[in-house]
Structure 1
Amino acid sequence: MDIAKLDADLVAHQDHLKYRYQQFLETKHKIEEVEGSIAEFAKGYQKFGFTRTSNATVYREWAPGATSAQLIGDFNNWSGSWMERDAFGVWSLTLPDDPNGQPAIPHGSRVKVRLQHPGGWFVDRIPAWIKWATVEPGKMGAHYDGIHWDPPQKHQWQHERPQKAKALRIYEAHVGMSSEAQEVATYTYFKDNVLPRVAALGYNAIQLMAIQEHSYFASFGYHVTNPFAVSSRSGNPEELKALVDEAHRLGIAVLLDVVHSHISSNADDGLAGFDFGQGEEASYFCSGERGYHKVWDSRLFNYSQWEVLRYLLSNLRWWMDEYKFDGFRFDGVTSMLYWHHGINMGFSGDYREYFSPSTNVDAVVYLMLANELVHELHTDAITVAEDVSGMPALCRSVREGGTGFDYRLGMGLPDKWVNLVKNVRDENWSMPDLVSALCNRRYTEKTVAYVESHDQSLVGDQTLAFRLIGPEMYTGMSTLQEESPVVARGIALHKVIRLVTMALGGEGWLDFMGNEFGHPEWIDFPRDGNNWSHQYCRRQWSLVDAEHLRYRFLNAWDAAMQHLDDEYDFLTSPHQLVSFAGGLEEQVIVAERGPLLFIFNFSPFKDFEGYKVGVPEAGKWRVVLDSDDVKFGGKGRVGHDVDHFTHPEGEPGKPETNFNKRPHSMKVFSPSRSVVVS
């Protein structure tokens, strides 16, 4: 395989790589033989669920485990319209329009499918391909109803997809908790109030969480019940389309946080209800233990099943075609890659952990097909994998033998920062160890770097800002009072930590909504344990909007980071070099990324005046950004109008004689707990 040329450790696992690639080719060939192409195969939503002919509504459902099926709903007073079954377990029903040409099932009416269990009893389920599902508001324990969505007035798209950005800078967001009010926010609210903030910060992509319908709000959207349905808590499908359209107007790509790694075990409201205990050849799910995730309490897909492949691939196409999403962040990829799902696995980096009988080749093949499809439908589409295992070649092309993702999340980076901030005194932070952690990623595979995502903000955890500042976030953030040492330290480190991670940690960047300005407190969704409170399930934008609070300094710094990449394209530059990582007596990192020179001073005590640093080129250098600037809450000690002239070092052509292996040097001022960029 071609990927073995990039990673010698893969040579010993060529047989495994060839086998899974052969499985991919065979599956793809079967699809092309029967359906014409993967893209055609992924048009399942044009065949299943509710579709229209010129004079009728057609409903189809794959439910081979059922012995009979009826469509029930408001349109027939829930009395049941019987369906017919074909040889493949597909049930269908054609409902002619009424004499006035009106559809038999009106837009907005409730529908369910009544399936007969082999034991003789009946169960009512929400159609698997339903596009919208709602629950009676304010009624505890109420079940969802499928809603037939076919509005006479549909959203008219106004704006083209934005051009693919050079570097991916993601703003991770949850629409439902995006308002300051203690309520579930809407797609319209997010469009009107949050998107302008994202654009002003300079992010070029948003990653929307919890869009696929999920009956349990507190699952953060990861226990999906209805994969094709828009979460009704925040509005209807047309309102979500308007959100995406507006993002495109602002030049922002929209990624869906898609969950294909598992499905909610809620049988009454979701896809899990189509499992009657039948064999996996007639089910969406694996049977026995392989069909159940014991940690997540959820059902697991059988990725070798033809109709499962149709369902999941069609789901991706549906979100791209109908809602014009520009790509996906695939959740729970580690759970998909291995039969053990990564449970109690401390991946050591031994390649035998990646390529063994524990590898779920069927799931890997599905991911290869998914990436092929997404990039065929939209050449500028973006796919991001959430994988903690470090699976090699995850972000190499399928034709090379890789899995086909564009990026992987740098999931070890937040853990590194949590450990340092929580367990190690500032003066004991090791710069060589930090550099090693930040730069530890797979060669030629792009990584999205981040300090914290939604995972670090959940109840029981703490945001970086809260770890650094603690309770003084409530009492010490006003500029009308003297800045305490705790607040000064926290603000300074918050800025430096984020930029060093962005500069050295990957080829992309991610921020979770509100963390850019140091949003206090964890996230706790309304649930029985907190008396269904929204107190900690919102974003307090008033904190960053208040001129007298220091949160605005962090927000301004985050915007400056994004604009720095816009101007200098350092994230996409292949040139990355750390010329110096000092010991505990200095705690300085000098690094080059693209055309920029970064000088990070993590020392809690020492300012370095006339500090000598190695540089790659002769000439004069000027500061373009520094975290000590007063507009970022600093002391303004670094001059931006000063020319720093270089001096030659050592003998030309002999790096060992240079200063820190750089042919030139210059002297700079490096304040404590700061970063200076030239």
Structure 2
Amino acid sequence: MDLVKHDLFQDLAKTQCADPFGCLGCHPDPVTQEPTLYVWQPEAESIVVLGLDHDQILMCLTPSELNGLFVAPWPDDISSQHYRLKVQYRDGNHHTLVDPYQFADSSFKDPEHHTANLFKSQGAIHRSAYIHDKLSIQGTRFAVYAPAARSVSVVGDFNGWDGRVHPMSSNGDGIWRLFIPDVNHGARYKFEIRAHDGQLLPHRTDPYAQQIEQFPSFASITCFDRHHVWSDSDWCQRSVENLYERPMSIYEVHLGSWRRKQGNQALSYLELKDQLVPYVKSMGYTHVELLPITEYPFDGSWGYQPVGLYAVTSRFGHPEDFKALVDAFHQAGIGVIMDWVPAHFPADSHGLANFDGSKQYEYPDPKKGWHPEWNSLIYDFGKDHVVNYLISNAVYWLEEFHIDGLRVDAVASMLYLDYAREEGEWIPNQDGGNHNYEAIAFLRKLNETIYLNHPRCFTVAEESTAFPGVSKPTFMNGLGFGFKWNMGWMNDTLDYMQRDAIYRQYHQGDLSFSMVYAFDEQFVLPISHDEVVHGKCSMIDKMPGDAWQKFANLRAFSAYMYCHPGKKLNFMGNEFAQGQEWSHERSLDWHLLDIAYHKAQQDLTKDLNQLYQQQTSLHCDHSADGFEWISHDDSQNSILAFVRRTKGSSQHLLVIINFTPTPHTHYRIGVPETGQYQVLLNTDDANYQGSQFTQQSTYSTDPIAHHGRANSIEVQVPPLSGLIFTWRQD
């Protein structure tokens, strides 16, 4: 038989072989039917076959007519058909290796392909090929989903990035597989894919890679080192809590710019463990939220254009180092939330775009599959393998890295087919509407999977529209998220705070309107990174007035935020009135803490966090039982007054916020109970660089009806201030 004419061998030479196991390894000779060894080494000059566990020469292979193919009959006196190859290359080098094509893929058992554990069977998995009880071969089993590909090869440092050397095979399920012996932890690799039309595509990063190099290679890296030993068992095994009745104060962090060291270098995960964790603990935050730490090619995307959802960004260290950071947070009693981006992905040539020469991950039609606002591609939520890929990824972070919560980015862009599109630029759903039914089904399945299997974990939606039931359970026809960002509160409040105090009297409704819908969803009040970048100014620069008024405004706002129903989220730097707009390219301005105003704002933030944790009246964030207006219509004085209540108790706090620089010496407030009202916190206190306006520490109620209540107190209200009182019975 003329081997050159054999189709599979021809495909090997053209790097388009889809069935390497059909022609390589031991096969019957087509004429004699005797066992014959076929070895493919395109750069070899000669090959000697050795025993797998000894150096005895079993045979010498003969070059065939096809350059790179070596052949020899298998000796009759050798029963085991397992072997090593001693290869002499044409460049003078030699190497001894274990031929991967002696190990059929059927010898490796995959876990069942549930949506929650695909990461255990796809990508690069460390495996052993067992020869007998005393001998096994260590290596890496590669698997990648590319159903439209004509052929797929593994390329890497271990084969000179030569796509001819390690062609993969597929059994018809769309997944290409190959076990390569002696490829261990830390090996660089990618997939070389030939499209169905014969086009050789740019090398692709492994969609399931757990580590990826930075520019320019973007190489996937095998990641089998599991040296971190978790020490957070107390945290992970704690009783399942009702998070809606617990304080949640979140410190949002971009790891690369929180603090920098000499040379403007970012801190590593291990350095952050030693510096960030104790800082967050000392400030009294209950949770930390990390901007996306999944791998991304462009620094300026802050992680929101990820290529590598399964990889911890290598900018700051290795995956095991990131585990150590999460572990340290947990040991400090701090939950870890990570921003997660399932809405879209960039079109970088090494990523998922047109992955196997077809639209495997994105919607084919750009009217549905291209995001015009972010110049990125949109996942096709109608494909099972895409939904499974994303849900498996969510579970991966919860299980492998002990993440406590996922803040899901850009949910609104997923829900609406016409998001950021003009008329004629989008495709209606089957009912002619603008809801993306496939994305809605995905989000419900995602939340059901997480809450069923990980009851201590939670999800948060960044969703900016009035879509109903975002944080309602799926059995109530909701999306199933645990929480939703309250973007309406954020926009209205910041609009109000940026106005000069003299004009605020005309916009009192900007503050009071939030209580109309405050309990429609389980809200988080976010002052995030998006509000202090791209010309929006830092929080302190949003505030009107001279220097004193700016800081007084910020202090009053802080008290209002912490007392308003809803969990709290503040971006790093806001806690000490960061001066410049945030930039991912530099550190926060920590030197500002040498200035009394900035240090006072940090002290106030710490005190508010402690008060929030200690006062149960502030914990009932998601029920009208925990809130009661005293006065929301005193627009002339721009004063708000309300009560926060402890669930099932008469215990309560009285809150008064003055949003003007005008103090009031005799301001009467109706109160719910008779007794004494003691000042717990006054943002105008001298400790916070306030005006030191005369203030009593305790007020006794008078039997004078006011604000529809039988009793009242007459208080001194400082300028631009927040007052929080606790009630005591006589």
**What secondary structure sits across from 2:311 in the alignment?**
strand
Task: Tell me if 1:67 matches 2:150.
Answer: yes
Distance in 2 (alpha carbons) for counterparts of 1:568 and 1:638: 25
Residues 474-503 of structure 1, C-alpha deviations (whole Å, 9 max, x = no match): xxxxxxxxxxx7111011100111221332
Task: Give the CA deviation at 1:183.
Answer: 2.4
Q: Does residue 597 of structure 2 align to residue 597 of structure 1?
A: no
Could you tell me how far apart the structure 1 residues matched to 2:320 and 2:146 are? 29
Task: Mark the CA change 1:425 to 1:667 in structure 2 (over 3 Å): closer, same or farther.
Answer: closer
| Contact residue 226 and residue 271 of structure 1 kept, 8 A | no
TM-score (norm 1): 0.81
- The structure carrying a bigger helix percent of its residues is 1
In terms of fraction of residues, the more strand-rich structure is 2
Q: Give the 3 Å change call, closer, same or farther, for CA 521–344 of structure 1 in structure 2.
A: farther
Residue 431 of structure 1 and its aligned partner are, at CA, apart by 6.2
**By how many angstroms is 1:444 displaced?**
4.3
- Counterpart of 1:383 in structure 2 is 459
Choose between structure 1 and 2 for higher RCO, CA contacts under 8 A separated by at least 6 residues: 1
Indicate the residue corresponding to 1:645 in structure 2.
700
One-letter identity of the residue aligned with 1:173: V
Kindly state the Cα deviation for residue 523 of structure 1 after the two structures are TM-superposed.
Answer: 2.6
Match of 1:47 in 2: 121
Say whether the 8 Å CA contact 2:637–2:660 is kept in structure 1.
yes
Preserved contact between residue 317 and residue 374 of structure 1 (Cα < 8 Å): yes
Does residue 88 in structure 1 map to residue 181 in structure 2? no
Amino acid at match of 2:207: A
With 432-441 and 175-184 compared, the bigger mean Cα shift is at 432-441
- Cα separation, 2, equivalents of 1:676 and 1:468: 19
Residues 160-199 of structure 1 aligned to structure 2 (within 5 Å): 160=233, 161=235, 163=238, 164=241, 166-181=246-261, 182-199=264-281
Aligned equivalents of 2:459, 2:145: Cα separation in 1: 29
| Shift in Å, 1:364 | 0.7
Q: 1 CA distance for matches of 2:514 and 2:678?
A: 26
Matched, 1:454 2:529: yes
Match of 1:433 among 509, 526, 529: 509
Contact 1:275 1:285 (C-alpha < 8 Å) held by counterparts? no
Output the amino acid matched with 2:367: E
The Cα shift of 1:459 comes to 2.9
The 3-state SS of whatever aligns with 2:419 is: coil
Q: Does 1:486 align with 2:546?
A: yes
Larger radius of gyration between Structure 1 and Structure 2: 2
Match of 1:217 in 2: 299
Matched-pair contact (CA < 8 Å) for 1:364–1:403: yes
The CA deviation at 1:416 is: 2.2
Deviation at 1:88, TM superposition (A): 2.2
User: In the alignment, does 2:454 pair up with 1:372?
Assistant: no
Contact 2:447 2:481 in 1 (8 A): yes
What are the Cα deviations for residues 143-169 of structure 1, in whole angstroms up to 9, with x where unaligned? Answer: 311111112x52110113365551221
1: distance between equivalents of 2:501 and 2:721? Answer: 17
Report the alpha carbon displacement of residue 92 of structure 1 after superposing the two structures with TM.
0.8
- Which amino acid in the other structure matches residue 306 of structure 2? V
In structure 1, C-alpha distance between the alignment counterparts of 2:298 and 2:420, rounded to whole Å: 24
Q: 2:680: which partner in 1?
A: 624
Change in 2 beyond 3 A, CA 1:189/1:344? farther
> How many residue pairs were aligned?
580
| 3-state SS in 1 of match to 2:407 | strand
Please give the alpha-carbon distance, in whole angstroms, between the structure 2 residues aligned to 1:75 and 1:624: 66
Asked whether the 8 Å contact 1:629–1:638 carries over to 2, the reply is no
Displacement after TM superposition at 1:588 (Å) = 1.3
Please show how residues 199-214 of structure 1 align to structure 2 within 5 Å: 199-214=281-296
Q: 1:129 to 1:156 in 2, by over 3 A?
A: same
Q: Distance in 2 between matches of 1:168 and 1:411?
A: 17
Match of 2:160 among 77, 84, 89: 77
TM-score w.r.t. the length of structure 2 is: 0.76
Q: Take 1:367 and 1:581, find their aligned partners in 2: how far apart are those partners? A: 37
- Aligned positions of 1:147-546 closer than 5 A: 147-151=221-225, 154-160=227-233, 161=235, 163=238, 164=241, 166-181=246-261, 182-268=264-350, 270-272=351-353, 274=355, 276=357, 278=358, 280=359, 282-343=360-421, 357-430=433-506, 432-441=508-517, 443-450=519-526, 452-468=527-543, 486-504=546-564, 506-525=565-584, 534=585, 537-544=586-593, 546=594
* Cα distance in 1, alignment partners of residues 435 and 518 from structure 2: 20
1:591 is paired with a residue whose SS is: strand
C-alpha distance in 2 between matches for 1:344 and 1:183? 43
In structure 2, the CA distance between the partners of 1:645 and 1:549, relative to structure 1 (3 Å rule), is closer
The residue type equivalent to 2:271 in the other structure is Y
Shift of 1:562: 1.1
The CA RMSD measured in Å over matched residues stands at 2.4
Structure 1 position 262, deviation (Å) = 0.4
Q: 2: CA distance between counterparts of 1:307 and 1:638?
A: 66
Report SS of the residue matched to 2:439: helix
Shift of 1:570: 3.4
For 2:206, the equivalent position in structure 1 comes to 127
Picking from 537, 550, 553, the partner of 2:597 is 550
Aligned ranges 1:608-619 → 2 under 5 Å:
608-619=664-675
Query: Do the aligned partners of 2:309 and 2:393 also contact (CA within 8 Å) in 1?
Result: yes
**Are the structure 2 counterparts of residues 334 and 551 from structure 1 closer, same or farther at C-alpha, using a change threshold of 3 Å?**
same
- DSSP 3-state at the match of 2:549: helix
Task: Report SS of the residue matched to 1:69.
Answer: strand
Q: What code does the residue aligned with 1:458 have?
A: V
Name the amino acid aligned to 2:174.
G
Following TM superposition, by how much is the alpha carbon of 1:638 offset from its aligned partner in structure 2, in angstroms? Answer: 5.0
Stretch of structure 1 that moved more, 432-441 or 306-315: 432-441
Q: Distance in 1 between matches of 2:500 and 2:436?
A: 39
* Cα deviation code 1:400-432 (max 9, x no counterpart): 111111111111233224433445554434464
Extract unaligned runs of 5+ from structure 2.
1-109, 130-138, 646-651, 726-730
Kindly, what percent of the aligned residue pairs are identical?
A: 26
Deviation of 1:135 (Å): 2.4
SS in 2 for 1:92: strand
How big is the shift at 1:41? 2.4
Q: Which ranges of structure 1 fall in alignment gaps of 5 or more residues?
A: 1-34, 97-103, 137-141, 346-351, 470-484, 526-533, 650-657
Secondary structure class of the residue paired with 1:362:
helix
Q: Does structure 1 retain, via aligned residues, the 8 Å contact 2:257–2:583? A: no
Show CA shifts across 1:99-156 (max 9, x none): xxxxx212112100000022323221111100000125xxxxx2311111112x5211
Q: Distance in 2 between matches of 1:638 and 1:129?
A: 63
Structure 2 CA distance, aligned partners of 1:384 and 1:283?
24
Distance in 2 of aligned mates of 1:492 and 1:216 = 38
